[in-house]
């Protein structure tokens, strides 16, 4: 499970960096999205990979910490998803305005 997660994070990071270095603005937006997904997976993976484990403590008096997952990384990833969505929407609006002013979608504004 850890190997699959680390390979997925590596592929998303490499693809995101490659797309960030492209000259078109749409590819830049997709690259930023892939990088944010890679960071979200990394944060989620640092919380511990447990299958079918409750995220919060039960009502019982005994506590076994190794049976539970940490809810803080899950909350951080959920917050990062919302912020990433808003950032992508804002960036797309700026992209469309820039394309309207310059007539091209290159990052530097020229072919």
**If the chain, 111 residues long, is cut into consecutive pieces of 10 residues, what is the mean pLDDT of each piece?**
90 95 90 94 82 66 70 87 93 88 79 67
* Paired strand residues for 24: 106
Q: What is the pLDDT of residue 71?
A: 77
Q: What is the pLDDT of residue 20?
A: 92
**CA neighbor of 70 nearest in space, from 52, 88, 55:** 55
Domain boundaries, the chain: 2-102
Q: What is the pLDDT of residue 102?
A: 84
Task: Spell out the long-range contacts of 21-24 with Cβ–Cβ below 8 A and sequence spacing 24 or more.
Answer: 23/106, 23/107, 23/108, 24/105, 24/106, 24/107
Per the structure block, which two tokens stand in for 57? 């403590």
């Amino acid at each position: 499970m850890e190997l699959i997660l680390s390979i997925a994070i590596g592929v998303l990071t490499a693809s995101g960096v490659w797309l960030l270095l492209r000259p078109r603005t749409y590819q830049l937006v997709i690259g930023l999205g892939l990088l944010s997904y890679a960071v979200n997976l990394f944060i989620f993976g640092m919380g511990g990979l447990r299958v079918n484990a409750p995220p919060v403590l039960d009502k019982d008096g005994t506590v076994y910490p190794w049976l539970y997952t940490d809810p803080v990384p899950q909350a951080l990833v959920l917050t990062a998803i919302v912020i990433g969505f808003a950032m992508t929407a804002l960036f797309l609006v700026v992209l469309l305005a820039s394309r309207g002013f310059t007539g091209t979608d290159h990052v530097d504004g020229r072919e």
